[in-house]
Structure formats: structure tokens, C-alpha cells
């Protein structure tokens, strides 16, 4: 995978633009991740949808494209032909946010509670807690999900894998 190139501008803390020694570089535009700066898509010779043929995108558009890549990769089902594409989309989304120096929404704690983008990893400790709550507290799967802070579907998967789900 090719590295994302970016353009920077210098912002100064004073009104005098001649003093660039204290200027902090800031990423303002990225080379379009979809067309790789070409401005058109090779497979059907049409303009790129992301950059509209410009070859560069703004930071906001790049972040939106990274989130779109991540959601597309998660929506793809498993399969030997889809796995390389999914992996490439995951890497591209991570690379966009690393280039911008911003924490990706699927890595921040705030976004997982509001709009989960990445499924939560279920550790052995959480699995044991789910089984314990199911057997001793007699809670519903929805209540166990709230206590363990994971989706109800994951609670059901853990209970089914342990053979303790209700049929």
C-alpha cells in the first residue's frame, strides 16, 4: 500500500507572516486516497467521486472517507476472496487517521458508547462475568449487556457458545 501524501500550511501565532520560525505545520489537504491523486478512476475512466477530479481532498473529506472505508470493511462478510479487500480497507482507514494525527473514532472511548463502529473484543474475563451473571443473578441478556457494556448480540453469542442459552 502506498503512503498517503499530504500538503501543509504554516500558521503563525503572531500577525506578522514573515516570522515562520514559530510556525506550526498543519495538514490541510491530503492526496485523494481513492484515486491516489490521479483525479480519475482507472477502471471506468470517470472522475473520482471523492475529490471530484482535483486529486486532493480536505481533512474533513479524508476523515469521512476513512470512516466510510472502515464501515464498508465491517459490512463485508467473511470469505477467502473478501479478506484481502477487507484488510486493505482497514489499513487505509487507519493510515488516514494516523497521517492526520487524529484518534480514529473506532479507537476512542466516546464513540464506542454513542455509535459503535468496531465490535468490542470479548475477553475471557468478560465471558466468565457473563456466565456468572446469567447463572446467579438471573438477569436478561439485555441487562447483562448493560452491566458488561457490550451489545446484547455478543452476550447471546457467549451464552450459545457455552451451551447455556435459552432455546
Amino acid 66: pLDDT: 92
The C-alpha cell at 149 is 457494556
The C-alpha cell at 128 is 466468565
If one compares 153 and 165, the residue with the highest pLDDT of the two is 153
If one compares 111 and 79, the residue with the highest pLDDT of the two is 79
Locus of grid cell 472517507: 65
pLDDT in tens, 1-41: 445 555 544 444 445 555 555 555 677 788 888 888 888 88
Backbone angles phi, psi at 126, to 5 degrees: -65, -40
Amino acid 34: pLDDT: 85
> Strand 40-41 and strand 24-31: pairing?
unpaired
pLDDT, average across residues 109-119: 48
Amino acid 13: pLDDT: 45
3 state DSSP class of 143 = helix
Amino acid at each position: 500500500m502506498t503512503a498517503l501524501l499530504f500538503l501543509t500550511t504554516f500558521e503563525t501565532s503572531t500577525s506578522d507572516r514573515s516570522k515562520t520560525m514559530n510556525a506550526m505545520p498543519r495538514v490541510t489537504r491530503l492526496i485523494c486516497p481513492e484515486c491516489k491523486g490521479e483525479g480519475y478512476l482507472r477502471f471506468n475512466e470517470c472522475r473520482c467521486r471523492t475529490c471530484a477530479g482535483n486529486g486532493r481532498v480536505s481533512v474533513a473529506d479524508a476523515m469521512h472517507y476513512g470512516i466510510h472505508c472502515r464501515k464498508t470493511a465491517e459490512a463485508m462478510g467473511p470469505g477467502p476472496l473478501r479478506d484481502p479487500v477487507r484488510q486493505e480497507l482497514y489499513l487505509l482507514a487507519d493510515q488516514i487517521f494516523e497521517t492526520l494525527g487524529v484518534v480514529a473514532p473506532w479507537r476512542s472511548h466516546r464513540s464506542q458508547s454513542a455509535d459503535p463502529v468496531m465490535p468490542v473484543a470479548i475477553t475471557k474475563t468478560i465471558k466468565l462475568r457473563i456466565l456468572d451473571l446469567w447463572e446467579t443473578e438471573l438477569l436478561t441478556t439485555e441487562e447483562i449487556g448493560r452491566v458488561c457494556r457490550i451489545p446484547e448480540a455478543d452476550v447471546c453469542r457467549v451464552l450459545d457458545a457455552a451451551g447455556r442459552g435459552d432455546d
